[in-house]
Amino acid sequence: MPKYIFVTGGVVSSVGKGITTAALGRILKSRHVSVSVQKLDPYLNVDPGTMSPYQHGEVFVTSDGAETDLDLGHYERFIDEDLTKASSLTMGQVYNAVIQKERRGDFLGGTIQAVPHLTSEIKQRVRSIGRITGAQAVIIEVGGTVGDIEGQVFLEAIRQMRREEAPEDTLAIHVTYLPYIRATGEIKTKPTQHSVQELRRMGIQPDVILCRTDDDPVTAETRDKIALFCDVERRAVVAVPTVRSIYEVPALLEDAGLGDYVVGRMQIQAGGRDLSDWRRLVDRMMHPTSRVKVAVVGKYVELRDAYLSVKEALIHAGAAFDTEIEIVWVHSESVDTGNVAAQLHGVDAIIVPGGFGERGIEGKVAAAQHAREKQIPYLGLCLGMQVMVVESARAALGTDAVNSTEFDPETPNPVISLLSEQQGIDEKGGTMRLGAYVCRLTPGSKAGEAYGLDEVRERHRHRYEFNNAYRERLESFGLVATGSSPDGSLVEICEIRDHPFMVGTQFHPEFRSRPDRPHPLFKELVRVARSRAAGSERQEAVGQPVVASN
């Protein structure tokens, strides 16, 4: 029987509940406890796939093709398990399932209500993830903040589960925030007390309180006070200060005794704990010996969460070379052929990430052209591959009348066009080409060498594809397809032949990168960027004429 650990949030949103959940997963795994994670999102969208990145940040794609909350990315990166669609449950899915059952006649004669129908559906989904994965511990994070109207049905389901399971089989962790009042120089516990009262009003008494702070000291008195007012053990009140890197959080929780507490309180069969590899990795991340500058040219750069997995994949690849990655966020709408050299001045590599819609597209094409002509390492992710193809095709065909039909349906040269399986699909939700597909690599190509494999499985989220009618002309120009679907019909990777590293992928490699296993393509990008950076430093040292002042 799996153990269920429920994580709720209080006081404010964005306190890092997802990272805390992921970090707890890591410390349990470091004790050889098998772990799975599930996110319960209170909104009524069936999944976040139809939401704007401005609303929701990145959409994370699992290998089985679910479009999920970005917290699933944190879970995968920290616990190093491939999750499935069962790990992402929204209130929209819960309603959808219950209403479908009602229409089918499953509840014939009954009045369908939040309790027990929605709550039963939720409990069944939570329990099924334990069954599907066989994990010893399932950590369930509830999105939003306690007190939100939307989250109440989830909390009621949790309350019921806590009664139905044995006391040692469930644990409720509440993540709160302790504000610091500068005028009086003290940290305040009142919002935490209120938040716990709200949780209790829903029938849930927390067992553990994780107190996020902005690095302000949480004294023994503060912890005593929280323990007393919130009725939890003193050692179950854990301070979680803001740290420089999210990857520091597992060790922080471990050192505060959270792992011992959880395993002891829940009577989990655990092995010896060993977080040493993780600590070494984080230490490497924190003490880089070199640095490269990577420009990310996208249209949602105001909201860094929109490119979360790209940013993390770069950090992982940097750590492999003890290199710090300085990301230069460049707004694609601000880039044009006239200013691209200035905007991308001094960068050692360029990434054009995924995206949808026409806005900012010409800026991305300009960035691809700059990378190709100036031999700057480039990695194009999904849309980033498509703009690289458009750019090369404009050069190859000698005309600007080249585009993706996503941006110009009437273009005379549709080098990127709708996937045949997409023709006639009007519904937007969950209808893209989604999830992991096999890609065959061309031996000896840049991508093939980077992977060191003949075949890989990578995750997709797109509707458009490389138009094979242009393949020969583009290959003779120097843009070669070096990865394709096993039947050869879909181009999955393109690269520029005479270039240090200019590779575009129709898939999203960023979703598979892990801190201790950086993605081969990101790793190769950083490797080539580093030698370029070292080369230009050398050039500066020897080649710069000393200008005498007169």
Residue 463 binding ligand GLN, by CB under 6 A:
yes
* CB closer to ligand GLN, 57 vs 147: 57
Marked catalytic residue, from 465, 510, 519, 524: 510
* Minimum CB–partner distance for residue 386 and ligand GLN (Å): 6
Binding part of the chain for ligand GLN, among 89-97, 107-115, 144-152, 352-360 by CB under 6 A, reads 352-360
Binding part of the chain for ligand GLN, among 227-235, 393-401, 455-463, 521-529 by CB under 6 A, reads 455-463
* Minimum CB–partner distance for residue 355 and ligand GLN (Å): 5
| Known catalytic residue at 150 | no
Residue 382 binding ligand GLN, by CB under 6 A:
yes
Nearest-CA neighbor of 63 among 479, 496, 436? 436
* Minimum CB–partner distance for residue 379 and ligand GLN (Å): 13
Residue type, 286: M
Binding part of the chain for ligand GLN, among 40-48, 289-297, 349-357, 509-517 by CB under 6 A, reads 349-357
* CB closer to ligand GLN, 212 vs 299: 299
Burial of residue 9, with CB atoms counted within 10 A of its CB: 0-12 exposed, 13-18 middle, 19 or more buried: buried
Marked catalytic residue, from 74, 316, 499, 508: 508
Residue 95 binding ligand GLN, by CB under 6 A:
no
* Minimum CB–partner distance for residue 419 and ligand GLN (Å): 8
Measured distance CA(383)–CA(306) in Å, rounded: 14
Closest CB to ligand GLN: residue number? 354
| Known catalytic residue at 382 | yes
Total binding residues for ligand GLN by CB under 6 A?
10
Judged by CB under 6 A, the residue of 362, 406, 458, 524 near ligand GLN is: 406
Measured distance CA(61)–CA(170) in Å, rounded: 29
Angle (CA) 493-351-79 rounded to 5° is: 80
Q: How far apart are the first and last CA of the chain?
A: 82
Nearest-CA neighbor of 504 among 491, 515, 517? 491
* CB closer to ligand GLN, 61 vs 450: 61
Residue type, 198: E
Judged by CB under 6 A, the residue of 356, 408, 442, 475 near ligand GLN is: 356
* CB closer to ligand GLN, 42 vs 73: 73
Q: Which long-range contacts (CB under 8 A, 24 or more apart) does 340-343 make?
A: 340/366, 340/367, 340/369, 340/370, 341/370, 341/374
Measured distance CA(465)–CA(449) in Å, rounded: 24
Marked catalytic residue, from 382, 439, 462, 524: 382
Measured distance CA(381)–CA(391) in Å, rounded: 15
Measured distance CA(343)–CA(330) in Å, rounded: 8
* Minimum CB–partner distance for residue 108 and ligand GLN (Å): 42
| Known catalytic residue at 164 | no
DSSP 8-state code for residue 442: P
Residue type, 53: P
Positions annotated as catalytic residues are 382, 508, 510
* Residues lying near ligand GLN in the complex (CB under 6 A): 354-356, 382-383, 406, 461-464
